[in-house]
Amino acid sequence: MSQEHSLNPENLPKDPAKATLEGRNKFLGLWFFLGGETVLFASLFATYLALRNSTAGGPSSQDLFGLELVFIMTILLLTSSLTSVYAIYQMKNYNFKKMQLWFGITAILGLGFLGFEIYEFYHYITDYGFTFRSSAFGSAFYTLVGFHGGHVVFGLSWLIAIMVRNAKRGLTLQNAPKFNTWALYWHFIDVVWVFIFTVVYLMGMVS
């Protein structure tokens, strides 16, 4: 069977993302990348933890952070993680339309998260004068949270690109691994956020 043919439940393997060598290599390659990403974020978290009390007379974490906004952002990103699980579930059922629908919902939730983050930064800068240059705490905060936000921007662009590019093709053994690796990347973004909301926001409001 040629790879150009659209997949349907009668002619295809259990997991279309890992049916070809190329697919398995992409899968392994993405995990190599995620191992490196862990180290990248480790250095940013370590820097933040070391500098979070060096406010240089500027606003501190207790002055800035609010629980409600962070809670909404957390729920949005967590839910988008679940919707991408649904999308992969539909991929394994060879239901391309439903997969696209769930990925579409994931993208909307991700955009919502991004909107709140942009509002958050805007709020800190205009209402508190808290910028990247305010203090060591400011630099560490914007670098860590901003890097995560940058990953969300990249993830959304990546998702929209593969959704548009494959819209008319349907599901094939060629593009299934691409959607699968994207979903893994997105879960990793959520993993990083779990530590950000715990270490940066919650711990920042307690101490």
Residues of this chain that interact with another protein (CB under 8 A) are 9-10, 14, 28, 31-32, 34-39, 41-43, 45-47, 49-51, 54, 67, 71, 74-75, 78, 81-82, 85-86, 89, 92-93, 184, 187-188, 190-191, 194-195, 197-199, 202-203, 205-207
Name residues whose C-beta falls within 8 Å of residue 53's C-beta, 6 or more positions apart in sequence: 60, 137
Q: What does 1-36 look like in DSSP terms, one character per residue?
A: --TTSPP-TTT--S-GGGSSHHHHHHHHHHHHHHHH
Query: Could you give the CA distance from residue 34 to residue 127 in angstroms, rounded to a whole number?
Result: 36
Query: Could you give the CA distance from residue 83 to residue 101 in angstroms, rounded to a whole number?
Result: 10
Give the nearest distance from C-beta 163 to another protein in angstroms: 20
Of the pair 22, 165, the CB lying nearest another protein is at 22
Of the pair 51, 125, the CB lying nearest another protein is at 51
Residue 168 CB: number of other CB atoms within 10 A?
6
Give the nearest distance from C-beta 19 to another protein in angstroms: 13
Nearest CA to 87 among 29, 22, 30, 159?
Answer: 159
Give the nearest distance from C-beta 81 to another protein in angstroms: 6
Of the pair 47, 139, the CB lying nearest another protein is at 47
Of the pair 76, 156, the CB lying nearest another protein is at 76
